[in-house]
Every structure is written in structure tokens, then in C-alpha cells.
Homo-oligomer: A and B are copies of this chain.
Amino acid sequence: METTVGMSSVLEQDIREKFRRSGYTLTSQRRAVLEALKEARGHPSAEDVYLTVKRKNPRVALGTVYQALSVLEEIGVVDSKHWSESPTRYDLNVEPHLDIRCARCGAVSEIPGVELGELEENIRYNTPYEVKRTTIVVEGLCPSCREA
């Protein structure tokens, strides 16, 4: 099977397009950050991404990873979420969805199948603020931590 050929997947095309429209340049470091996000199983922190990127390119600076992540977030390629007692977690899934973090081991995973439909519009209807984003953050104990 050859569903992807290097940098030519559908996802990549979309990302290229978002970079083009934004005026930012798709540098090798930013590509490396994207690759690290793809490889990561869960929802990595900036530090996690940094360590992954460093394996292939030991010269990257942590600050570059932060800057890349913030550019990627600005152009809508990645999303970030904040839990208390954890550094910011990054996510290639930019659709509205739920993520839950284990309070004990820190693992983050997604909660599929929850209907959020009217929430955002209800919010817009009930506040005079111009709503930019709504983030739902769930905390709990993962299956292996709840038995311990």
C-alpha cells in the first residue's frame, strides 16, 4: 500500500496551503515539528516534541519548537489545550472534540462520540462577548490508574 508518498499526502497539501495563505514559510524545523506531532501517540507537550525533533536534528532549540508550535496553531494546523498541573498539550486534531487527561499518570486521550452540537451557538447567544474559542478540558483517572 502506498497511501502516502513522503510529503505528498492530502494532509500535507492542506498544510502547505495554510502556510502559503498565511505568509509564513514552511521551514525544515516546522516540518520536523509536524512530523513529531504525527509520530506522537498521545497529546505531546512542547518538550516531548522537542525531544522527538532532536533525535533527527540535535541542533534545534527548544525555543524554535515553541515558536513553530505557535505558528502552527495560529494558522490552524494544530490546537493546544491546558490542564492544570501539566504543560500545554498539542494536538493535530483541530476539530472540536474532547480530550481527557489522567490526573495520576498524565496520559491524554480523546473521548469520541459526545455531541457538542448546540453548545457553541448557545454560548454566542448568551454572551455579549465576541466568542473566539471554547475549550473543554476533562480530568480523570485512566483505566490502569483507577485500579491502583
Contacts and interface: CB of A to CB of B under 8 A. Distances in A.
Interface of A: 80, 82-84, 88, 98, 100, 102-103, 109, 111-116, 119, 122-123, 126-143, 146
A137 B136 CA distance: 6
Tally of this chain's copies: 2
Contacts of A111: 123, 126-127
Contacts of A136: 134-137
Contact of A141 (B103, B115, B126, B130): B130
Given A82-B82, A119-B114, A122-B114, A127 B100 contact: yes
A134 B133 contact: no
Contacts of A122: 113-115
B140 A129 contact: yes
A99 to B, nearest CB: 10
A62 B105 CA distance: 29
Contacts of A135: 136-139
Given A82-B83, A122-B114, A134 B137 contact: yes
A72 to B, nearest CB: 15
A114 B117 CA distance: 13
Contacts of A141: 129-130, 132
